[in-house]
Amino acid sequence: MSQNLTTEMEHAVEQHQGVLRVQGERSSYVVMTDSAYREMLGIGSDAELQESLQVIAEGLADVEAGRTRPFREVLAELGSPHELHG
């Protein structure tokens, strides 16, 4: 469901750096710009999201093709100060 903001509400959101808390009859709500929502989720721009999805797809393809290394080997190579038990 999508609702349109009134001009007054839109200006209020803009004046509060893209995030506005409003009180309803039964609860309080947060109204935010799409860019504030994306930033909160760590998504970034459409281009950044697509780049992230591409890298994930490449990683999954590597796993399916058997291009993996044991985790302990990678930690040893990185000189990790963490010990793994088990």
Q: Supply the pTM of this predicted model.
A: 0.50
pLDDT tens digit at each of 86 positions of the chain:
678 989 999 999 999 999 999 999 999 999 999 889 888 888 888 888 889 889 999 999 999 999 999 988 888 888 867 666 66
Q: Which residues of 3-39 are buried (b: 16+ CB within 10 A; e: fewer)?
A: eeeeeeeeeebeeeebebeeeeeeeeeebbbeebebe
pLDDT at 82: 66
pLDDT at 38: 86
